[in-house]
Chain A
């Protein structure tokens, strides 16, 4: 039981990183970014290639492994940021310039998602492959009967650092101020001298960085695959709605709560494939009972 809760928490951390991307974009554009799953996928592939190259040439001393891990995090985050910005540039901005109806954004995002997904499938092959592991330590600590591995601890640390960074960025920096301004009222913000286009692009980039890092961790814990982003992104969207979409702290909490809610029932059901089914049921329940999520939805107020 405790191990399932721990599993839920650590999977939830990954979801909350992804959910952040949904939440930021939703806050700014009032749109669900359907192509976010491909940000995950690109982060996973970037991490795979980085580790593939770096682990080949190194004979694994601890400090080198730490450096490689940091490099992989940066590489996958950057890949995610680049892909997210490209999605904004090619699938959203031409429509935004034209003041197109919302339906067209969703369709073009779905198109972008499918294009990137199958493009990766074509360029890198369609079979799942395991990533090289920079974290080989077998150290694990036992908390209330749950075994927490070194991988989980690294994940926890990385998530904490990234969330702290993003939170600070959004609430205390100039970019963050313009993001919040655009989220509240894009037109007024542009009158006040905020460059709306570059603000939206940087929002995508921040969300994309988090998504890319999440992709790296998904790749390290399971396999890398052209279709790896789909289910986690769907569940992460659930997490974002659970925490209140548009709410940064809500996204973090939503991911963890979702993770626990998903894995605890599996403890009784013994059917791991039910994970997305439970997540989906939670999504529908949240939408029925409390569509504003646990913590309310506003980027402007709560960040």
Chain B
């Protein structure tokens, strides 16, 4: 096939333009999202600033590249551009050698120049954010940094790959000896090395040896980072895979060599896995740096507890609870009340341990009072009623000055302590040294709760929830009182949140209404949705990931990141997860099947219908 005819066929139609525009708009949106914080009294401030800072150009270029790539991909899919007319796809193998050894040197120089410019731009906008830094001077300064060269090589590589793919095979002139095993291995390792050059500066210093040995600019000491070696190893592994795959293919044995054997997970294996997970959960935190210890203990642990509770409502029962934080607040204020931190005084002071059952009771009653009238109706009413309830609790907590001390915060609420049988154990509240103690306390609550919910989901109750989710009418006709089970799920979620509130209040000390704003509910919802609703392990991993990621963003700001922006990204995660992977990253099998069935028109995957009427037995 000759060049002109291919170009002639590459005519763009309306759909291509739409796709390109969408991608370009994506780039613009990213640029605006990561731009500097605005200022309403000067409304043009943020737009103006955003347009003259370098990372915006970077994202715009990203948008253009994305558009080009997606249009190209669409063309290939539609068969307009056939890459494999003369040379079948599998014979095209681009290695380091074939790229470097391709003959036309002017093209190679041009590619290198383009790569250099692109790399400078990327290096510029992934660097620390400075407004108005899109200048030749600053860009040239990037030449000092090693990672710029990493980018140069990667982009050079990619561009050449495309070029080599486009060039007819006869012109390529690849020396045969360099396409051998060793060449592939070297190419893989070198690729890994270059990736390490780039990735190094994104990784937290905690993950590098520099953390222990050097206190300099980590960017210039990349060889001392063990991540560099890790990436090289990964590259080597990729090269090895390529060699082995080729060998397998040459043997024409395509049947079962690389097919993954079916692994049956027996109860023993599963038990051992859980044991190992528990061991890691107990031991690993001791080796973390103080910063991650603190954020892990004060945030991710609590997130896990809250997410596991919300999972019962959203994942198991298929309802939406947007006022989850209200119960968290109820639990926290219950503890504050019974430990004497509020202006109104309790009849007797309690240890925080004893306010847990009271908090469970309070939240359960509140849950039933809210859920019973609402869940009789359509399921989406629950979402908005809980949204309203969350807002009401927040408004009351900020304004009832003589009950909650208002927005100024309560006194220090009491904490956990134990003095039985000669054992003395206490948590002194805010002391940072207590983080580890608090974490183990949290774990002591979390692990039984996880087991409880796990077995609940595998019991009659869990089966009823599944039946209600999948077909509410059929479930009702088989005698399942759907109202009862929905209210039960809602109340269980509420009381878990209450327990979380008591634990958190002991750690927080003084309670501020702003700790219980609606945003916390949304955050917990993101943990559940992202991880995979209905699967406890997925939810825990979702909580750990999102918790880590929001911390990560603060300190690795190649974008202008404020803490309040977190919710913008979380909102985007919610939409994208719902569009592309509604079952979450690590779904439960049953939930996954429900989503597929529901999309095929079989049953539903939520409990949003009206509950079948029946007495609450």
**A18 CB to closest chain B CB, in angstroms?**
14
B605 within 8 A of A: yes
Closest to B583 in A: A104
Contact between chains at A124 and B388 (CB < 8 Å): no
Query: Once the chains bind, are B40 and A273 in contact (CB under 8 Å)?
Result: no
Binds A, one of B235-243, B251-259, B389-397, B444-452: B389-397
Is A114's beta carbon under 8 Å from chain B? yes
The answer to whether the Cβ of A231 comes within 8 Å of any Cβ in the partner chain is yes
Question: Within residues 263 to 300 of chain A, which ones have a CB less than 8 A from any CB in chain B?
Answer: 271, 273, 276-277, 279-280, 283-284, 287-288, 291
Encoded as 1 (CB less than 8 Å from any A CB) or 0, chain B from 568 to 586 comes to 1011111111110010000
Chain A positions within 8 Å of B522 at CB level: 110, 114
Which of the residues B37, B46, B572, B606 comes within 8 Å of A101, measured between beta carbons?
Answer: B606
Interface string of A116-128 (1 = CB under 8 A from B): 1111011111110
Docked-complex contact A108 and B578, CB < 8 angstroms: yes
Nearest opposing residue in chain B for A114, CB measure = B571
Q: Which of B7-15, B56-64, B174-182, B596-604 is the interface stretch? A: B596-604
Q: Which of B40, B381, B572 contacts A115 (CB 8 A)?
A: B572
Question: Least Cβ distance of A72 to chain B in Å?
Answer: 15
CA gap between A237 and B391 in the complex, in Å: 14
Nearest to B533 among chain A residues (CB) is: A103
Flag whether A94 is at the interface (Cβ < 8 A): yes
* Stretch from B264-272, B285-293, B457-465, B559-567 at the A interface: B559-567
Contacts of A238 in B (CB 8 A): 388
**Size category of the binding interface on chain A:** 35 or more
**How long is the Cα–Cα vector from A166 to B534 in the complex, in angstroms?**
43
Residue pair B37, A125 in contact (C-beta under 8 Å) = yes
Assess A119 versus B564: contact at CB under 8 Å? Given A52-B43, A124-B43, A234-B387.
Answer: no
Residues of A within 8 A of B46 (CB): 122-125
CB distance from A41 to the nearest CB of B (A): 12
* Contact A115 to B38, CB < 8 A, known contacts A103-B318, A121-B564: no
Interface of A (DSSP majority class)? helix
Q: For chain B, give the interface size range.
A: 35 or more
Q: Which of B133-141, B372-380, B504-512 contacts A (4 or more CB under 8 A)?
A: B372-380
Whether A102 lies near B606 (C-beta < 8 A) is yes
B146 contact set on A, CB distance < 8 A = none
| In contact, A122 and B565 (Cβ under 8 angstroms) | yes
> Is the Cβ of B391 less than 8 Å from the Cβ of A287?
no
**B positions within 8 Å CB-CB of A:** 32-33, 35, 37-41, 43, 45-47, 314, 318-320, 322, 370, 373-374, 376-377, 379-381, 383-385, 387-389, 391-392, 395-396, 399, 518-519, 522, 525, 529, 562, 564-568, 570-579, 582, 594-595, 598-601, 604-606, 608
24 contacts between A and B (CB under 8 A): A34-B383, A49-B43, A95-B578, A100-B595, A101-B608, A102-B379, A103-B314, A104-B582, A107-B525, A111-B574, A111-B576, A111-B578, A114-B567, A115-B568, A115-B574, A116-B571, A118-B571, A123-B35, A124-B39, A125-B46, A230-B391, A273-B399, A287-B377, A291-B377
